[in-house]
Amino acid sequence: FMFLTVSNVISLGTNEYVYGSVSAASIAAYDSMMLILYIMTILLSCGFSCFTPIYLNYYLYRKQSSDLYLSLPMKREKMFDVHFLYGCISVLLPTIICYMIPVVALWLKGMRFSFLPFQMLAFIILINIILQGINTLLSFKANKLLDAIVAVFGFLIVPLVIILSLNLSSNVLLNKVLIGYTAWMDELTYLDVISYLIRLPYVAFGSFEYTGVSVYQIMMKEHSMFYLLWWCIIGIIALLYARSSYQKKPWEHSEQYTSSKLIYPLMIHAGLAAILLMITLIEELSTGKVILLGMTFLGYLVAMFFAKRSIKLKWQYGLIFAIIFGCTCLFTWSFESTKGFGLIKETPNQADIYKVR
């Protein structure tokens, strides 16, 4: 954090040297540094917010440590509150201090006072608290340190895989459906909405944009508050569920395999659906497609064996694989048949045509 702060303060002098005046340096610094400062601060703080719940709840993954904490004269509710609040404060306090130092330096350089830095700071604080609540729930549901790490980073990676799969499949399917040529981003705007709804980093990094119309050229997107509210609700639910799970958690489950449906089953099957959707795009039942399906099924079995910590082949695995593959085939067929579920309207209504040249 100190490196980030000092580097931003030093660059103020560099901007003044390049632009030749304090006013021009302040404008250039505001346009570039505030956005860079926001991105770097939220990146570093969210990185710490991913590891803090795992570190503070490390005792849950060892029987000896969990027995020691269980014997303390403290209610579980209070123990949960202490750990969660300490985790938030330990991340947010240095974040706020090191964020405000370059902002104050900008004001001292002659930049006019604005509420935008405080708006950005409030956004950073809310994103970190939401991330702390979700990761706290995932760390409680895990019974081993490795499972907790996989759960936290899977929460970030699996939604990205899903979005990439949807983007690729939409691009390929649109080329089959469209009469002419267009970019898939223009036709299927709901993909951007899905990204905001299932990916918290997308909300964190995509809520502010550089408008380039005034001195204060960084603006918050209009829909950002709606998606932030959506994630606040998810964070509150995750925090309440984590508090309830902590009170009821059987301490003897420490060092046992993680059986929670929120971790391995959800991540494995969501990732499997994304991969099968991309394989479904291959129309012909060629040898390459069969090999890809076989490798995907093998990878699915390995993932389930790792989740269960047991190499035991079950017929349910094959059934689930077949059901998910059938759903992806149904999705691609229905997309082509309904022209993007009725979202793609290339042919205009004849009643609206009054003149053709």
**Residue 22 pLDDT class (50, 70, 90 cuts):** very low
Of all helices (H) and strands (E), which one includes residue 218? strand 218-220
Quick: pLDDT tens for 272-330: 999 998 888 877 777 788 888 899 999 999 988 888 877 888 888 889 999 999 999 89
Instruction: Dump pLDDT digits (tens) for 154-181.
Output: 888 899 889 888 888 877 777 777 766 5
The pLDDT assigned to 322 comes to 92
Is the pLDDT at 220 greater than 80? The verdict is no
d(CA 51, CA 54): 5
* Length of the chain (residues): 357
pLDDT band at 115 (very low <50, low <70, confident <90, very high): confident
Average pLDDT (3-25) is 57
- Which pLDDT belongs to residue 23? 54
The residue among 239, 166, 150 whose CA lies nearest residue 199 is 166
Per the CB < 8 A criterion, the answer to whether 301 and 268 are in contact is no
Do residues 234 and 150 touch, judged by C-beta distance below 8 A? no
Three-state DSSP class for residue 209: strand
For the segment 180-209, the average pLDDT, to the nearest whole number, is 75
Residue 273: Cβ-neighbour burial (10 angstroms; 0-12, 13-18, 19+): middle
Q: Is 280 within 8 Å of 330 (Cβ atoms)? A: no
Indicate left, alpha or beta for 340 from its phi (over 0: left) and psi (-120 to 50: alpha): left
Question: Left, alpha or beta for 73 (phi > 0: left; psi -120 to 50: alpha)?
Answer: beta
8-22, 75-89, 164-178, 328-342: range with lowest mean pLDDT: 8-22
The larger pLDDT score, comparing residue 320 to residue 25, is at 320
Residue 133 has pLDDT above 80, yes or no: yes
> For the chain, what percent of residues have pLDDT higher than 70?
80
Per-residue pLDDT, 215: 45
Q: What is the pTM of this model?
A: 0.81
pLDDT at position 17, please? 47
pLDDT score of 135:
93
Residues with Cβ within 8 Å of 325's Cβ and at least 6 positions away in sequence, in order, are: 276, 280, 293
d(CA 191, CA 194): 5
How many whole angstroms separate alpha carbon 42 and alpha carbon 99? 10
**What's the mean pLDDT when you consider all of the chain?**
81
Percent of the chain with pLDDT over 90: 20
What's the alpha-carbon Rg for the chain, to the nearest Å? 25
